[in-house]
Amino acid sequence: MSLMNIETNPPVQRCGLVAIVGRPNVGKSTLLNALVGQKISITSNKAQTTRHRITGIRTRGEAQFVFVDTPGFQMKHGTALNRTLNRTVLSSLGDVDLVLFVVEAGRFGLPDAKVLALLPQGKPALLVANKLDTLQRRQDVLPWLKQMQERHAFAEYVPMSATREADVERLLGIVAPYLPQQPWLYEEDALTDRTDRFLAGELIREKLFRLTGDELPYNCTVVIDSFVDEGGSDGPEGAASPHPSPEGSVAASGARARPLRRIGATIVVERDAHKGMIIGEGGERLKRIGSEARQELERLWDAKVFLELWVKVRSGWADDEAHLRSYGYE
């Protein structure tokens, strides 16, 4: 009796775009970082922390998740900046396969309702009830979930905390079946489609927000003036130094020294008083912003970072379409 050769079908790959939406400060960026497994989106308690469409990529088994973190939909401050942020939210919803609608567990207000009204018809949406750990009475979440069922036909309801690894893994398992069966869009080890130059500007802005608190108004931004990679590559955005750095040489022990990245950045504010807030007495606050940003960038890249910061006043930049485009707002 002859043996028959049986062909085994390769595992079916899944890949899809998943939008993370919600009002400001519900933990969207924290959730994105947890889902990806590395910090790629900045976080702070200040509204408008996320201002760009940030793509985070996680490959798990045969599924590749392409998460899109969006700015919180803005209800106040009718500036050109806020109109730009809201356009980013709406455009992100147009081409995704699944929506994660993030709210704080047990809470739902008018800002949440306005974002919920934006969800596209015909696309599945999951209700992610984040910050479950902050509820004093866990049993209160069940009647609240019943109320949420009446507001929208969510495909799934996921009470969780983005800071708990087990909850994040459970959410990934829930999302996976909603991804279309198609080849992956990115390499298996990819984490984001954003450049290191972009991440540098975002991390500086995070430290700016965290170290100024409520003193500084929301309308400030960070512009990367120069990004020079001396040893290693940052793709099309990284400029190679014409002079080889000793940082890139091989040490006597045979171990390669860490590469060096030189970054120059400008913090843009609207008023002279804001400039003084950032610089601080004797320049101490600006030094601390630069120091904390540099240290986190060094940990992120495993590289030596030389960072120079300046502060400039550009009155009315947040309501000027030309300035917004020049500063990288889409």
pLDDT digit string, tens, across residues 273-322: 889 989 999 999 999 999 999 999 999 889 999 999 999 988 765 555 55
Q: Which domain holds residue 122?
A: 14-178
Q: Residue 46 domain-assigned?
A: yes
37 and 124 within one domain: yes
161 and 21 within one domain: yes
d(CA 58, CA 10): 21
Tell me the two tokens of residue 126: 């999951």
Kindly state the helix (H) or strand (E) to which residue 229 belongs, with its residue range: strand 221-230
172 and 236 within one domain: no
- Per the model's pLDDT, the better-predicted residue between 327 and 173 turns out to be 173
User: 317 and 270 in contact (C-beta within 8 Å)?
Assistant: yes
- Residues of the chain with pLDDT > 90, as a percent, come to 42
The domain spanning residue 239 has which CATH number? 3.30.300.20
Q: Residue 261 domain-assigned?
A: yes
Question: How confident is the model at residue 304, as a pLDDT?
Answer: 94
Question: How confident is the model at residue 144, as a pLDDT?
Answer: 93
User: 125 and 152 in contact (C-beta within 8 Å)?
Assistant: yes
Spell out the alpha helix ranges (H) of 66-195. Answer: 80-94, 110-116, 141-151, 165-175
Tell me the two tokens of residue 102: 């993030």
Over 70: is that where the pLDDT of 13 sits?
Answer: yes
Question: How confident is the model at residue 16, as a pLDDT?
Answer: 93
d(CA 313, CA 257): 39
- Relative to beta strand 14-21, strand 63-69 is parallel
Over 60: is that where the pLDDT of 124 sits?
Answer: yes
pLDDT tens digits, 15-57: 998 999 888 888 888 999 999 998 887 665 544 444 456 788 9
Q: Residue 2 domain-assigned?
A: no
Q: Residue 44 domain-assigned?
A: yes
Question: How confident is the model at residue 274, as a pLDDT?
Answer: 87
230 and 164 within one domain: no
- Relative to beta strand 304-313, strand 260-269 is parallel
Q: Residue 189 domain-assigned?
A: no
Q: Residue 4 domain-assigned?
A: no
140 and 85 within one domain: yes
How many separate domains does the chain show?
Answer: 2
User: 42 and 50 in contact (C-beta within 8 Å)?
Assistant: yes
- pTM: predicted TM-score of the whole model, two decimal places: 0.71
CA angle 242, 248, 250 (to 5 degrees): 135
